[in-house]
Structure 1
Amino acid sequence: MTIGPEGCLDLVGHHVEGWAWLPAKPDRRLRVEILFDDPPIRVEVLADRHRPDLEAAGKGDGRHGFAVPLPASLIGREPVVNVCLPDFPNARLRGTPRRAILALGFVTLRTIRPLGTDLDRLRDFLAGMVRLNGGCADTAVPGMRDLQVWLAGGGDRCWLVAERGSRIVGHCRIGPGWPAQATSRALTLGIELHPDVHGFGLGRQLMLAAHRWASGRCARLELATLPHNARALALYRGLGYVDLGTAALPETGEIHRRMAIGLAAPCGSAWNAKRGITLVG
């Protein structure tokens, strides 16, 4: 069986960066075509930049990266960016398509409402994230009924979303479940941001909002992340999370890094989970 090309669109902003390589011919440098907006501005480059992370991951000699600046004519806009491999027209790079966001602007954090329209939008966001990472949304995204049951489960759970205009760009779920032990006074936190809004501090603000909600409801929060997710590890450690060692994801056995933070009792009135929080990027 022939193994096709691999690759990912890693960064979209003032520069567009990613990588592409062909495992069957690890020394080959692939042609990459970047398409900005529709009708597209096309830029073709060779994926031949050296990236130590690719070399460390066993991607040939690591010389499979590419980077191009955002065209000057698109500065001030938020163009959709896609990446194609001209020699492999059926191939798709992970992380595509993306939107080039240079200024975050206003973002509202609020709790999800257990209504059809709210849950439909949340499911659309979750499905989009699965597809962006190359997964199957049909099996990886919970159904409407599952979401409703979880939200109605009690006062020990909360689901926050971050909205930029009419678009959900991130979510944070707090409640019982792995890796927190059922017999402990801990709740589990899970967070996910769309890569379009990485680098603006939104993940930190979303987690701080979760901490405020959880204060007084549990003694600590726990989370699990992949050991190679340097961005997430830096965020969690910067917020005060401590390392509890490794833990295997029950469904797959995949090894994660388990972390936790102790929560102080809330000062003054508890955070009102129904109130929107507006942030300025």
Structure 2
Amino acid sequence: MPSPPNPVSLGPKTRIGRGGPLALIAGPCVIEPGDLTDRIADRLAELGEELGIPVVFKASFDKANRTSKSSFRGPGVEEGLRTFERIRARTGLPVTTDVHESIQCEAVAGVVDLLQIPAFLARQTDLLEAAAATGRPVNVKKGQFMAPWDMGHVVSKLSGAGAVGILLTERGTTFGYGRLVNDFRAIPVMQGTGVPVVFDATHSVQLPSAGQGVTAGEREMIPYLARAAVAAGVDALFLEVHPRPEEALSDGPNALRLDDLPALLRTCLRIRSAIEEGAAPEPSGGPGRS
């Protein structure tokens, strides 16, 4: 079976993959009422221009796996797709969102540039194949219950179904109850499948079901994990951001404050630059020769 394409192209300007710049997939957890989602997208577009990095806007139209039935789920697919169309038009950013059922894939792919498969559904063959069949690239989050080498089977399923581009995302592994841990060996292991790898620094700090009917989190740990992932050679960062995380309607404890994003990205870009300089070949003639 031929290797999946690497890097992955999302529209005419955005490429994610080895040899390219560090990319960013970012946005709020869920589309919220009012103009908040648009304002976040506008700021992300500005940052992409300022820092010279590829940016993909992300948000969910439906959070189908909430801990409690009373938790906010989002506007639904129809309104959500209208929001994505508007954001693409006003910012020029490619957009991504998650799909939970095979029947959603075709309609969502008609609007977004990248389909995301949630971690809990990473092994659902019918969903993977339906996403691949749309002709859009697919980003699969590694299940908290899966080893990184198991994602080779995910890549094979998508490749066999004709996927035009594949990304894999590391987002932590379940450790006992209510805690996730990251093994950064997962990044090179999953890159060994031939596809770019994304690191989700915000979902990695979740404390699942640790709140009162909601998922808690350790927001202060996001920068540490993001910096470590860049040092390990990840191709893109995935960050949920919000102007006021304490007021977010979903996953606020795990969201990075939007105002803190520029400084974190600049630090990560310096780390990336240092790694690339360290990997550069020595000048012709070798050390000590003129």
The TM-score bracket by the shorter chain reads under 0.3
Name the larger-Rg structure: 1
Give me the TM-score of the superposition, normalised by structure 2. 0.26
Does 1 or 2 have the higher relative contact order (CA < 8 Å, sep 6+)? 2
More strand by share: 1
Give me the TM-score of the superposition, normalised by structure 1. 0.26
